[in-house]
Amino acid sequence: MKKFVLMTAGPTQVRENVRLARSIVTTNPDEDISFCEYYKELCDKLSHFFHTKNPFYILSGEGILGLEAACASLTEKGDRVLVLDNGIFGKGFADFVTLYGGEAVLYTVDDKMPISVEDLEAYLKKDSNFKYATVVHCDTPSGMLNDVERICALLKKHHILTVVDSVSASFGVPLDVDKGRIDILCGGSQKALSAPIGLTFLGVSDAAIKAMKQRKTKIASFYGNILSYADYYEKKWFPYTMPISDVYGFGQALENVLEEKDIFARHEKIAKATRKAVESAGLEQYIHSGYSNTVTAIVVPEGISDKALLKKMREEYGVMISGCFDVLAGKVVRIGHMGENANVPDMLTTLHAFQNVLEEMGFSLKCDMANVFLKEME
């Protein structure tokens, strides 16, 4: 298979030591108590990293499983759920809510701006009768970053539980779970953590566990039942056999993150330089504020086909960036500068290829993006 410079908005590049960790000799994770201890240590490191005492659970299944598990575990028939929507993933939560019998009440706002805490506060004064609310930290298709700490703290003031999708923000953007009083934090292995695809992790509050235990009806999912994880450590028992090699890879990727002095500063610097290069060249970003430091979504210039652009990037320059989907299909292309992707040499290769392809396709740029990027990095 051809090897590309992988610069997509997830999955991201995986470091060699992570790939090697997946080849370590395995034990039986059901029988060998040392695996349970290892798993617990990883979960504790996640709690520490996200500034919370809430326990974390690592589930087999990629990011989407985490979102679905949160909704499956909390939602009972007829529950009103507030779905904060300023992006594709934001709106997408409504599907999980309704799938489990809930009533999704959409709070839809401008998808080019972060959710305004003040406007939400005014809305909640009129209607706050919700069991829980969902919100996306970084809505990856547009690269929109929402201030989930403030949003969730506000929701909690109104006694609403909160579910946060931080799949594409976690490890690239700081997050303090306790400050935001976030009840369920959802993350994935394949974005800024830069582990292979296949695992999701959930940080779950006591209040969320209590709400699950107080349900009148059973959780209508087996894989998505968070309660079945809640006492794994006491019982030394997992609801199903853990994918041990995936977990080893995850553990090494987490080690890499923890060894780095300031992973957030790296993301911020690269993201700012990327935005500067793109804007200086006369390209337009899709959103107007609230830029996430993990991904930049660029409007495809008039008359240019995104598919042709992405194909040229891949085939002529060996660089893979992301297109988009749903309402943004064909409208934006995205550079995923998250996790291992967020490094200067690969960003230079990407911007150089992007520049050449756009010019070959007849769009002339106002500057050399790679040069502007480099200058910003000084």
Ligand X SMILES: *Cc1c(COP(=O)(O)O)cnc(C)c1O
Binding residues vs ligand X (CB under 6 A): 10, 62-64, 89, 136, 140, 165, 167-168, 188, 191
DSSP state of 301: P
Q: Decide: 200 and 188 in contact? Cβ < 8 Å.
A: yes
* Nearest distance, CB of residue 202 and ligand X, angstroms: 13
* Residues in a beta bridge with 298: 285, 333
* Nearest distance, CB of residue 214 and ligand X, angstroms: 28
Nearer to ligand X, 36 or 328 (CB): 328
Structure token pair of residue 304: 């240019």
Nearer to ligand X, 169 or 283 (CB): 169
Nearer to ligand X, 36 or 193 (CB): 193
* Nearest distance, CB of residue 30 and ligand X, angstroms: 27
Element (H, E) at 100: none
Residue pointed to by tokens 């296949």: 198
Structure token pair of residue 137: 């930290």
Nearer to ligand X, 64 or 105 (CB): 64
Residue pointed to by tokens 């070959």: 360
Residue nearest to ligand X (CB): 63
Nearer to ligand X, 168 or 252 (CB): 168
Q: Decide: 250 and 189 in contact? Cβ < 8 Å.
A: yes
* Nearest distance, CB of residue 14 and ligand X, angstroms: 15
* Cis-peptide, bond into residue 141, ω within 30° of zero: no
DSSP reduced 3-state for 146: coil
CA distance between the termini of the chain: 36
* Nearest distance, CB of residue 342 and ligand X, angstroms: 15
Structure token pair of residue 356: 């050449």
Q: Decide: 137 and 322 in contact? Cβ < 8 Å.
A: no
Nearer to ligand X, 29 or 87 (CB): 87
For Cα atoms 145, 147, 150, give the angle at the middle one, nearest 5 degrees.
170
Nearer to ligand X, 168 or 350 (CB): 168
Burial class of residue 201 in the structure, from the number of CB atoms within 10 Å of its CB (0-12 exposed, 13-18 middle, 19+ buried): buried
* Nearest distance, CB of residue 207 and ligand X, angstroms: 23
* Nearest distance, CB of residue 201 and ligand X, angstroms: 12
Structure token pair of residue 2: 């051809």
* Nearest distance, CB of residue 127 and ligand X, angstroms: 26
User: What is the DSSP pairing of strand 184-188 with strand 161-165?
Assistant: parallel
Nearer to ligand X, 136 or 226 (CB): 136
95/182 Cα distance (integer angstroms): 21
